[in-house]
Structure 1
Amino acid sequence: MSKKLTFFIVIIIALVLMSGCFPTIQEEKTENPPPQQNNDEENTEDINEEIKEDPIKKQIEKMTIDEKIGLLVIVGLDGYAIDDDSKSLIEEYYVGGFILFGRNVKNTNSLLQLINSLKSTNKNNKIPLFISIDEEGGRVSRVPKEFMKVPTNRKIGQINNKELSFEIGNVIGEKIRALGFNLNFAPVMDIDSNPLNPVIGDRSFGSDERIVSQLGIETMKGLQNSGVIPVVKHFPGHGDTFLDSHISLPTVDKDLNSLQQFELIPFKEAIDNNADAVMIAHILYSRIDSENPATLSKTIITEVLRNQMNFEGVVITDDMTMGAIIENYDIGDAAVKSVNAGSDIILVCHGYDNAIKVIKDLKSAVEGGIISIEKIDESLYRILQLKHKYDLKDEVIDSIDVWKINSQIEKILNEIQ
């Protein structure tokens, strides 16, 4: 037999053997059919997803209209102790929180007792209170005089140390949290670009937008680290004004592009670093919205802050009893307009009657279809989400170790020197 013939016979035998060992493609399909998609299982999963309820949405669904409206308002009070007006605001109007000032502070024990009284009075309500304060450091400090002061933001900006800014934010947070506060209207993210500005000045970290951004963010993170909610302010920037919005309505003649290149930079950086809340300023930006100050401007709050800058947190107005508002608007109308513009919380720092008017006018606007209930529920969702995030509780605090807090502040002061 020739070698070629032998080779071909071997090849033929090998092919025959292989065909016996492996099924054809058709046989493979027959013997090993792919698993059929179980439509029943898929439908069940979809139904289960629908059944799973968001606990915050479920909480909102159970609220009355009065409870919903009250939670959109943070109010001030007079004196060193809780009074009938404050009790009414909690028990009848379900306010979302309080802001305390120097007028409420006699000493540490008195302040602690006041805050404990507010929380105890709110015990029958389902949602814990925001207990808020303006504690920026420097000249804007509301805490009792027993506490040592931290430097101004301007001084911190001159040192320009990120770790120091974090430490100061953290110790401010530790100090006010020990007193029972859970929300701080700080840090100031305004750029001190106008030497004639009567209201910002040394409250700002400086005139350089990069320094303001970096140090403001670190202070914000320090507050968050301490368990206190920071509210960055005053969006979209109060640094280049000639008037004090506490007295009258300032006007800034800048377009949006100019703001984006300067004033908005610190706020954008803060948002990108998980800012929880933003305070809106009472300033008229005439080239962006010629009719409405930022607090009442849908263009500035919804289109710029929400849509363009992607802020998903809580929007809080500056005090609606400031001259910029009450000298030019009815406070109730202004509150309604602000909510429709995109604000979540209306801040009413002075006057029981002012607080009641805001609450009643908001309710009337919802009942009259001027504000949609969907808008109210959206704001409530953000507010409750924030309270859940920081695990707020109306727990009373028995005592405070002032010496411990002062030791932390003294250490920071020594580092600066």
Structure 2
Amino acid sequence: MRKLWLATLALSVVLAGGCGSAGGNGGATGGTNPGNAAPPAQTPDNGNAPQTTPEQPGSGNGGNAGAGNNGAQTPPAENGNSGSNEPPPPAQPTAEELLAQRVAKMTLDEKVGEMLIAGLDGTTASAQAKRMIQEQHVGGFIFYKNNVTTPAGVAAYVNQLKAWNKANPAPLFISVDQEGGRVSRLPGLLKIPPARTIGDTGDAAYAGQIGTALGKAGKLMGFNVDFAPVLDINSNPNNPVIGDRSFGTTPKRVTDMGLSVLESIRGQGVVPVVKHFPGHGDTSVDSHLELPVVNKTLAQLKAFEWVPFKAAVEDGADMVMVAHILFPKIDPSHPASLSKTIITDELRGELGFQGVVITDDMTMGAISEHFGLAQAAVTSVKAGSDIILLAHGYDDAKTVVGALKQAVQKGAITQQRIDESVTRILALKQRYKLSDAAIPAKPDVSGVNAIIKKAVSAH
């Protein structure tokens, strides 16, 4: 499945020519790599125009070869040359060069804004959300249960955010935590079993059907990012935060099920986010409330917790969420979400991940009880994070934007470091052909519910 998908990617990039694809594992500006292979890139306009699918072999103009001028051929020039002393046209810019040009045109405010996904208040788009888009230039939003009512209500909310964003350089990430089980946000859907129930069947195809339902439902309601699948191995029976959100207690079970869900969500054109690196399965404290501490060595993590994540990276995972967990034997001073050792040295260096790194919610107790939000955001970006996730509060978004800008202006964070993250983010948005075009006002989830019913009833 992986080989077929990569082959399709390669074909689409070839057909798209020099039109701004960020595709595959190609690098971006300044030697950075914009991310892993995924759906083909769109032509960058301002990043917001709806994109067309590249022509298939034998279609479009390619199928009309020799048809111009009623089939007449241009007579050969005398003396066997072209008859023109004109120099050849200049080479078209590469996809990486076009992406670099987009980043170079952005202001610091726009770049820093792209590095935030922010929470929302209420069930309709508010003046605060409009300010976050127009003043902070936030790159995306996350919806929670208190933001959704009906599929039509979600669509109206999403469409308003998109309409406000059209003056910004790139379309919005519209994200949601939709795993199934007790972490289910989307309205109008049949109940989806928890991951552990699915994992207990040992049927990866079943997991794939659930992943397809998750991706389809999200896309119908305007979501282009789903914070799923969970790749944590639930090795601690006293774990208060993971539990049945995990597919199982062994690396193989979690890997088999998790990758099937990842590929199926991605197959619907929605960005799957694997979480919670380096592994939340052996914690005994809920990071929403306090900072968990796991006394495992790097060798222990590599042999167990990292197995599903390594497989996901090799499978082309586009986005990885890093957890708020302290691993004192690896980095005694910083939790994973603030640790250069874990993000840059291990996730990017050892595992070879080249996509987008996002933090878990920075307003959680694990961070807010021990670190100031502004300093935590700066430290996380310096450590290698690309996106800071803020689940709640307009003021929090304003604080983080201000802190990151000030850090750049004072030299604590280099402009190059910001550009690396923005390049990866824009490349990901291009690969998934994200757009701020409106979605249908009345999403019909009956087809998704039919998929869920059929999959669950068979097990």
TM-score class normalised by the smaller sequence: 0.7 to 0.9
Q: Give, in whole Å, the separation in 2 of the partners of 1:296 and 1:208.
A: 27
Q: Give, in whole Å, the separation in 2 of the partners of 1:53 and 1:271.
A: 22
Q: Give, in whole Å, the separation in 1 of the partners of 2:413 and 2:111.
A: 13
State the AA in 2 paired with 1:137: G
Partner of 1:228 in structure 2?
A: 270
| 1:131-169 deviation per Cα after TM superposition (whole angstroms, max 9, x unaligned) | 00000011100011x210211110111001111111111
Partner of 1:41 in structure 2?
A: none
Q: Secondary structure at the match of 2:264?
A: helix
Partner of 1:318 in structure 2?
A: 360
State the AA in 2 paired with 1:379: S
| 1:335-374 deviation per Cα after TM superposition (whole angstroms, max 9, x unaligned) | 0000000000000111111111001000000111000000
Range 82-91 or range 160-169, more displaced: 160-169
Selected match of 1:282 from 320, 324, 340: 324
Q: Give, in whole Å, the separation in 2 of the partners of 1:405 and 1:187.
A: 18
Q: Give, in whole Å, the separation in 2 of the partners of 1:382 and 1:402.
A: 32
| 1:304-330 deviation per Cα after TM superposition (whole angstroms, max 9, x unaligned) | 000111000000000000000011111
1:351-362 residue pairs with structure 2 within 5 A?
A: 351-362=393-404
State the Cα distance separating 1:395 from its structure 2 match: 1.6
Q: Give, in whole Å, the separation in 1 of the partners of 2:184 and 2:93.
A: 49
Q: Secondary structure at the match of 2:285?
A: coil
Query: Quick check: 1:305 aligned with 2:347?
Result: yes
Partner of 2:163 in structure 1?
A: 120
Partner of 1:331 in structure 2?
A: 373
Partner of 1:270 in structure 2?
A: 312
Q: Secondary structure at the match of 1:284?
A: coil
Partner of 1:396 in structure 2?
A: 438
Selected match of 2:133 from 69, 77, 90: 90
Selected match of 1:408 from 436, 445, 451: 451
Q: Give, in whole Å, the separation in 2 of the partners of 1:388 and 1:352.
A: 27
State the Cα distance separating 1:50 from its structure 2 match: 8.1
State the AA in 1 paired with 2:125: I
State the AA in 2 paired with 1:167: Q
Partner of 2:175 in structure 1?
A: 132
State the Cα distance separating 1:52 from its structure 2 match: 8.4
Q: Secondary structure at the match of 1:347?
A: strand
Partner of 1:7 in structure 2?
A: none
Gap regions ≥5 residues in structure 1: 1-43
User: Stretches of 4+ moved more than 2 A in 1?
Assistant: 47-53
Selected match of 1:217 from 259, 262, 279: 259
Q: Secondary structure at the match of 2:132?
A: helix
State percent identity of aligned pairs. Answer: 49
State the AA in 1 paired with 2:306: L
Partner of 2:48 in structure 1?
A: none
RMSD between superposed Cα atoms in Å: 1.5
C-alpha spacing 1:164/1:367, structure 2 compared with 1 (3 Å) = same
Partner of 2:112 in structure 1?
A: 69
Contact 2:275-2:321 at 8 Å conserved across structures: yes
Partner of 1:260 in structure 2?
A: 302
State the Cα distance separating 1:126 from its structure 2 match: 2.3
C-alpha spacing 1:53/1:345, structure 2 compared with 1 (3 Å) = closer
C-alpha spacing 1:369/1:392, structure 2 compared with 1 (3 Å) = same
Aligned length: 371
Query: Quick check: 1:152 aligned with 2:194?
Result: yes
Partner of 1:176 in structure 2?
A: 218
Q: Give, in whole Å, the separation in 1 of the partners of 2:127 and 2:220.
A: 26
| 1:100-159 deviation per Cα after TM superposition (whole angstroms, max 9, x unaligned) | 001101222211111111111112222100000000011100011x21021111011100
Partner of 1:80 in structure 2?
A: 123
Q: Give, in whole Å, the separation in 2 of the partners of 1:85 and 1:115.
A: 15
Q: Secondary structure at the match of 1:285?
A: coil
Range 308-317 or range 405-414, more displaced: 405-414
C-alpha spacing 1:52/1:151, structure 2 compared with 1 (3 Å) = closer
| 1:81-109 deviation per Cα after TM superposition (whole angstroms, max 9, x unaligned) | 11111000001111000000011012222
Partner of 1:248 in structure 2?
A: 290
Contact 2:176-2:226 at 8 Å conserved across structures: yes
Q: Secondary structure at the match of 1:98?
A: strand
Q: Secondary structure at the match of 1:69?
A: helix
Per the normalisation by structure 1, the TM-score is 0.87
Selected match of 1:55 from 98, 107, 119: 98
Range 47-56 or range 253-262, more displaced: 47-56
State the Cα distance separating 1:415 from its structure 2 match: 1.7
Partner of 2:28 in structure 1?
A: none
Q: Give, in whole Å, the separation in 2 of the partners of 1:112 and 1:49.
A: 39
C-alpha spacing 1:368/1:116, structure 2 compared with 1 (3 Å) = same
Q: Give, in whole Å, the separation in 2 of the partners of 1:171 and 1:353.
A: 35
Q: Give, in whole Å, the separation in 2 of the partners of 1:262 and 1:52.
A: 38
Q: Give, in whole Å, the separation in 2 of the partners of 1:87 and 1:51.
A: 35
Q: Give, in whole Å, the separation in 2 of the partners of 1:296 and 1:366.
A: 17
Q: Secondary structure at the match of 1:364?
A: helix
State the AA in 1 paired with 2:445: V
Q: Give, in whole Å, the separation in 1 of the partners of 2:310 and 2:245.
A: 19
C-alpha spacing 1:295/1:51, structure 2 compared with 1 (3 Å) = closer
C-alpha spacing 1:50/1:112, structure 2 compared with 1 (3 Å) = closer
State the Cα distance separating 1:402 from its structure 2 match: 2.0
Gap regions ≥5 residues in structure 2: 1-86
